[in-house]
């Protein structure tokens, strides 16, 4: 059986409404070990025949068998395997990858054949030395002469064995001396048992072959043997290289090659790569920053709420579940005394307060007056910053003394005046200022109030009850209990005690601020989620930018794609190459995007020490997963476009 057999092969090209018959009913056989020259003028069909012989294209009609395999029945991957294991291509314009040195260009077919790194490097070095390029292993194509580049392409053709050497106008870009050397080298390869097929329009080049096939208008017009080829060298005693099949590195080598080539491609277009990464970086930075801010805000709110309501239960004179118009019993001193007797209770703080006018000199305003006992101010988490607290002697003597919060002090006194020892008028009675406390409102991490509240003053409860407000009842009280007690169990104990005191009617409510904390935390979570979703739009925009850049990259690297396919890359190899490049682009952009939230976190932690930001490992992992998903999603179209290219069309692209 002949190595290559064409039986009534035709190739028809269609361009719009125009049809061109490039090959018309061609039949020929090529035996193993032949050296054949295919001649013809431009438009004769020799390039089309070369593409068919090299398994770069399929016939429209007829049968083309290579090593007994019918090309029409082979898939694209099977044709790639046939090119990889059987053919070695020598192109007129060399078709070397410019970013690889000589040795790596030679190794390329072996990568797709699965040869491990050490073996393919040894084989590439041996071939280059055999071809006189032992001192040019690390030189890139632009550092080599035309003849040296052509020798590199010959070494590449032989790396996987190269049973069939297909040379397309091999001397077309060489000077006469280099061309003559190349023809001698091809003759030597033929003498070693390689089947050599020359495609040329030069009769002198064709005369080096043992058989000349001439084409005209897509038909064979001459198929003749040459008795004594000019300059045919004597056979050399050198063993040929064995054919490489899928080796143990078949799965890992293409992945390593794709990763290396992706890094090389990104490095070759650094500015464009950085601009592409910028969109992903902004999106990741926005999402991570908002998520971190949301987590910090929730944590801060929870801590603040826990500090405000820790070991504390507020009893209020109200219950929305009571029938309309049902009477409400006031919370009395008896209720407070009964709750103090419960196990675990540390203090019961009735709230006696009213809104009264306050005046000092010409300054006046309304303040909230609270009747308290010693220690009540501390129970509310406030600090005496000047003077002293209400003492037992003040309660026993019903003294007309008062402690101002800083808002009340700012209202009644100037910043230069000292309030301690001064007399202020509350209602119609004079009170002596004995202390200043921090204000009783929620503060942020810097100690500043979230909102401007009304000033508050504290006077002895006995003085309040006998001189300011004679009512003994209250509408709320705060029960403080041991921190080790269970809030739910303690709530139920308080409820049962008050039900017994109020005749079984639940005309009161119990609040530990947990519900409010839960609602506020939930709102923050939803708000953070909405803002993160909005920020995520920038990730999609960045992904679209990556897809656009990858499509441009595919267009610019069309010839590279064709070279890879010609030396044996399958469609999935090409697809893998561009997908990895897209994912790498997105992940590098994502890592860059994490640097900005980290910087923001450091600044926020310094400016707002009470609300520290932290970039968690979970955020890092999720960001990289998101970048990988975006890379796959938006890199899929460019990767498929690259893999779907015809090697013939790709190689023809300048």
pLDDT at 349 exceeding the cut of 90: no
Question: Which two three-digit tokens encode residue 143?
Answer: 């550092």
Question: Which two three-digit tokens encode residue 526?
Answer: 């939803």
pLDDT at 574 exceeding the cut of 70: yes
State the pLDDT at residue 8. Answer: 94
CA nearest neighbour of 290 among 527, 526, 532: 532
For residue 639, how many other CB atoms are within 10 A of its CB? Answer: 23
* DSSP class of 216: E
State the pLDDT at residue 302. Answer: 58
pLDDT at 405 exceeding the cut of 50: yes
* Beta strand pairing call for 312-316 and 509-511: antiparallel
Task: State whether residue 534 is helix, strand or coil.
Answer: helix
For the chain, what is the mean pLDDT? 81
Q: Show me where the domains of the chain are located.
A: 4-248, 265-302+518-652, 312-513
* Superfamily (CATH) of domain 4-248: P-loop containing nucleotide triphosphate hydrolases (3.40.50.300)
Between 470 and 107, name the one with better pLDDT.
Answer: 107
Between 508 and 366, name the one with better pLDDT.
Answer: 366
Q: How far, in Å, CA of 171 to CA of 498, rounded?
A: 107
Q: Which residues are within 8 A (CB) of 216 and not within 5 positions of it... i.e. 6 or more apart?
A: 40, 41, 44
Q: What is the pLDDT of residues 321-338, one digit of tens each?
A: 777 667 777 788 788 888
> Residue holding tokens 């968690």?
616
Rank 370-384, 537-551, 575-589 by mean pLDDT and report only the highest.
Answer: 575-589
State the pLDDT at residue 62. Answer: 93
Q: What is the pLDDT of residues 513-528, one digit of tens each?
A: 555 566 666 676 777 6
Burial of 403 (0-12, 13-18, 19+ CB in 10 A): buried
């Amino acid at each position: 059986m002949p190595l290559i057999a064409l039986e009534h092969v035709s190739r028809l090209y269609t361009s719009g409404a125009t049809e061109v018959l490039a090959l018309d009913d061609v039949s020929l056989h090529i035996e193993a070990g032949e050296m054949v020259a295919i001649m013809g003028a431009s438009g004769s069909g020799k390039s089309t025949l070369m593409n068919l012989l090299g398994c770069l294209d399929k016939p429209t009609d007829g049968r083309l068998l290579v090593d007994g395999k019918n090309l029409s029945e082979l898939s694209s991957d099977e044709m790639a395997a046939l090119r990889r294991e059987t053919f070695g291509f020598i192109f007129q314009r060399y078709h070397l990858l410019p970013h690889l040195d000589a040795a790596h260009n030679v190794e390329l077919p072996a990568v797709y054949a699965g040869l491990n790194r050490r073996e393919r490097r040894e084989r590439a070095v041996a071939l280059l030395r055999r071809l006189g390029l032992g001192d040019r292993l690390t030189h890139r194509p632009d550092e080599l002469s035309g003849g040296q580049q052509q020798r590199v392409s010959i070494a590449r053709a032989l790396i996987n064995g190269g049973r069939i050497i297909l040379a397309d106008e091999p001397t077309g870009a060489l000077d006469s001396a280099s061309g003559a050397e190349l023809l001698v080298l091809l003759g030597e390869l033929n003498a070693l048992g390689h089947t050599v097929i020359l495609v040329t329009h030069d009769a002198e080049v064709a005369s080096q072959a043992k058989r000349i096939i001439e084409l005209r208008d897509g038909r064979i017009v001459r198929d003749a043997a040459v008795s004594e080829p000019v300059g045919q060298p004597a056979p050399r005693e050198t063993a040929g290289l064995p054919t490489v099949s899928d080796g143990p590195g078949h799965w890992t080598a293409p992945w390593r090659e794709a990763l290396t080539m992706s890094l090389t491609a990104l490095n070759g277009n650094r500015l464009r790569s950085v601009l592409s990464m910028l969109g992903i970086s902004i999106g990741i930075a926005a999402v991570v920053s908002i998520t971190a801010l949301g987590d910090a805000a929730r944590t801060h709110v929870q801590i603040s709420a826990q500090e405000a309501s820790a070991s504390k239960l507020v009893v209020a004179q109200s219950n929305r579940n009571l029938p309309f118009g049902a009477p409400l019993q006031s919370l009395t001193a008896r209720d407070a005394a009964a709750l103090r007797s419960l196990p675990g209770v540390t203090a019961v703080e009735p709230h006696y307060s009213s809104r009264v006018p306050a005046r000092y000199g010409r300054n006046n305003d309304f303040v909230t007056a609270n009747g308290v006992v010693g220690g009540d101010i501390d129970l509310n988490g406030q600090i005496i910053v000047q003077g002293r607290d209400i003492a037992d002697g003040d309660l026993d003597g019903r003294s007309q003394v008062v402690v101002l919060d800083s808002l009340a002090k700012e209202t009644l006194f100037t910043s230069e005046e000292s309030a301690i020892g001064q007399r202020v008028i509350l209602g119609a009675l004079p009170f002596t200022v004995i202390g200043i406390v921090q204000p009783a409102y929620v503060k942020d991490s810097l100690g500043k109030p979230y909102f401007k509240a009304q000033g508050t003053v504290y006077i002895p409860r006995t003085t309040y009850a006998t001189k300011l407000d004679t009512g003994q009842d209250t509408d709320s009280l705060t029960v403080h209990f041991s921190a080790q007690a269970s809030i739910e169990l303690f709530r139920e104990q308080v409820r049962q005690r008050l039900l017994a005191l109020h005749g079984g009617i639940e005309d009161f409510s119990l609040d530990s601020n947990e519900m409010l904390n839960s609602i506020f935390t939930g709102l923050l979570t939803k708000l953070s989620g909405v803002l993160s979703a909005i920020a995520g739009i920038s990730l999609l925009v960045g992904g679209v930018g990556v897809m656009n850049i990858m499509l441009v990259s595919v267009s610019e690297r069309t010839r590279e794609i064709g070279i890879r396919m010609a030396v044996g890359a399958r469609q999935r190899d090409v697809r893998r190459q561009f997908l990895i490049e897209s994912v790498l682009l997105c992940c590098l952009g994502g890592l860059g995007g994490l640097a900005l939230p980290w910087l923001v976190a450091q600044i926020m932690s310094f400016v707002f020490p009470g609300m520290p930001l932290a970039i968690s490992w979970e955020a890092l992992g999720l960001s990289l997963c998101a970048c990988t998903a975006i890379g796959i999603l938006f890199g899929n179209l460019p990767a498929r476009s690259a893999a779907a290219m015809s090697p013939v069309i790709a190689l023809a692209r300048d």
